[in-house]
Amino acid sequence: MHLTQQTQRILIADDHPVMRQGLRLMIEQQPDLRVIAEAADGSEAISLFRTHRPDATLMDLRMPGVDGFGAIRAIRDLSPNAAVVVLTTYRGDARASAALALGASAYVSKTSTSDEIIQALRGALCGRTILASDVREDLRDWKGAETLTAREVSVLRLVAEGKQNRLIGAELNISEHTVKSRIKSILSKLVARDRTHAVTIATRRGFLGD
C-alpha cells in the first residue's frame, strides 16, 4: 500500500499474535495510520525500530526476553524523541511511573476502547502525554508513596511464594538478617500491616504481577 506523506507509520510490539492482528486491523481502519512492522518481543521491537524508524510504537510491557521496559529504554536511546505508547494488561502506579520515566508518551490498558487507544496514539504523535483514566487514578491514589528498590522487590516476590526468610536468603545468596532488614523496609514503605498485606499492596501498585 502506498503511504502518503501524511500517513503515520506504526510499529506494534506484543507477544500475542491475536492481539497484534487485532491492533493492526484497528489501526488500519484509520485513514492516516498504517502498521509498518510487528514485533513479538522486545529484542525484535528494537531491531525493527532501528530498521523502520516508525512515527510511533505501540508497546506491550510483558514480553519474553527483553521486556517492554527494556525496549522503551533502547528505543529512546536510538531516538530520544521517539513516541512510545504502552498498551498493557497491568495497572499500578509503579509500572506507569517506570514507563513514563523511561520516556513513554502514553500509557493505556488493554481493556481500553479502540477509540481510547487511537486517541493515545494520536496524542503521542502530537507530542502529548496521554494516560488512561484508571492509570491516572493509580498515580493520584499513590502520589507521594515510596517506591521499592529492585532488591526489595526480589525479596517480596519470594515472600509472595510463601517462602520463609531462611529460604529467601539462600535463594538470593544473602543473609537471613539482610532478608529481615529488607522486609522491615518493605513494610514501612508500603505502610503494610504484615507480609501478606505487603504482597497485596505491591501487587495492586504493580511491583509484582509478572
pLDDT in tens, 68-88: 999 999 999 999 999 999 998
Could you give the strand order of the β-sheet that contains 56-59, starting from the edge strand earlier in sequence?
Answer: 33-39, 8-13, 56-59, 83-88, 106-109, 130-131
Every domain range in the chain assigned CATH 3.40.50.2300: 8-140
- Give pLDDT, residue 210: 56
- Give pLDDT, residue 4: 47
Every domain range in the chain assigned CATH 1.10.10.10: 150-205
Q: Predicted confidence band at 183 (pLDDT cuts at 50, 70, 90)? A: very high
How far CA 61 is from CA of 89, 96, 110, 124, 170, in Å, comes to 8, 10, 11, 17, 30
Write the pLDDT tens digit of every residue in 22-32: 999 999 999 99
- Give pLDDT, residue 208: 83
CATH class of the domain defined by 150-205:
mainly alpha
CA distance 150 to 98: 12
CA distance 69 to 150: 14
- Give pLDDT, residue 209: 66
- Give pLDDT, residue 70: 95
- Amino acid at the residue 3: L
Average pLDDT (100-125) is 91
Average pLDDT (29-38) is 94
Q: Predicted confidence band at 1 (pLDDT cuts at 50, 70, 90)? A: very low
Identify the CATH homologous superfamily for domain 8-140.
Response regulator (3.40.50.2300)
